[in-house]
Amino acid sequence: MAEFFEMPQASPTMETGTLLAWKKAEGDSLAPQDVLAEVETDKAAMEIEVFDSGYLLKILAEEGDQIPAGQPIAILGSSADEDISELMAKYEAIKAGASTPSPTPAPSAQSTPSAAPATPAAAPATPAQTGLQPFTWQGKAIHSSIMEMPSFSVGLPETSSPGMIAPGGKVRSSPAARAAGRAKGIDLSRVQGTGPRGRVTRADVLRTAAGVPLAQPAAAPAPPPRAVPLPTAGPNDTVVRNSQMRKTIAKRLKAAASDAPVFFLTATLDCDALVAFRTQLKAEGTGVSYNDIVIQACARALRDVPEVNAAWADENIILRGQVDIGVAVALPGGLITPVIRDADKKALPEISKEIRALAGRAREQKLAPEEYTGSTFTISNLGMKKIDQFTAILNPPEACILAVGAMQQQPIVKDGELAIGWQMKVTLTCDHRVVDGALGADFLAAVRQYIENPSSL
């Protein structure tokens, strides 16, 4: 039986995907795990596989198109000569619904549950309750206030109307509503339901019997004008199209900068012992970088000060049960943060090997979603770029991010004498809703302890 093949949602933050290339042509046969297309998500380029045998009957999207997650991009079938006229008609309706603005606000998980298809014939190919299932991470529920929620643009259900008929010809209604209808002598097909998917409730029947009209939702206010107008390109300018990664970076960091009240703590760390420690490891055949040592020092410090390994969730603060450190890796189109899981439990050589493997796959845009999502703390290191000191923007929903500057020799005072020593500046960006100044200082003191006494690692 022919069916739509939809744009998959490859990561929790993905809203749209760019179709880079089709790997199959119309009419080609398909086997399980065949690569159908290559898609650019907000984080990486990935190959889309099919799970069943069949045929590619129709391609619905062109290479280079940006398609919302959940919208059909192809039609697959079990035989090469299947009739797809009905699916094509549904697809045209979906495209028309996605491109034509609706006069009423689209329903969401936070709105009054009064949405349902207008008639069975006009129902979109997607389920009646179009939207996302609740997000989880490693089996734990994620609060909606700390998770960026993608939205669909694929023919959302319209506002319900009287006479909402369920499959089988019956009015969607509760048992109490049917009993009230019989007692009041009211035909339920004339009652406008306000329950889930337009279901008629007892309150709807009593409201109709009393002749009270259903209150209409207020019109959405017009968006305020932009304080700063968007720039326009001049004749000598070059316009570079924003990738999905760059759009996601802009959206997430704008939200972080506007929503979270942040402050910054900077510390200067003495690194003479760190340089000697790494030199010794290198002489013993253990190749680790300074960044590897910083990762392990932060992981141990998060274990010592667990209140920093946390996130804000409006009604509560979530203290993370694992120390999963994201490490910022620069890419040609932006940056990504591969995650070292349980970093506080891993030895230096293990961290070094893992971060090199993850960074290599990141630069090739081959990271799996679980390899770059779900970090509890992030480290951004620009020391290799000879940056002395900088501040980093939070990586939502984390409470802190550490910016690491260059390690360099400086004139310092030791025991009242002028000397030359290795120093490094680090700056901790803190979400003040979660981490206060004293708590952030305690964390940096723990980091200092491990950096200035690396043998304790």
Q: Enumerate the active-site residues.
A: 432
The C-alpha torsion from 405 through 410 and 413 to 415, rounded to 10°, is: 90
Residue 90 belongs to what H/E stretch? helix 85-99
CB 320 within 8 A of CB 397: no
Distance of CA 386 to the CA centre of its chain: 31
13 contact partners, CB below 8 Å, separation of at least 6: 42, 43, 148, 150, 248, 252, 373
Separation of first and last alpha carbons in the chain: 60
Angle 125-131-137 from CA coordinates, rounded to 5°: 130
* Calpha distance 274→431 (Å, rounded): 29
CB 97 within 8 A of CB 154: yes
Q: Give the bridge partners for 5, in sequence order.
A: 74
The C-alpha torsion from 105 through 107 and 108 to 112, rounded to 10°, is: 100
- Token output for 386: 């000879």
The DSSP code for 412 is E
| Of 399, 389, 390, 407, the residue nearest 294 (C-alpha) | 407
3-state secondary structure of 19: strand
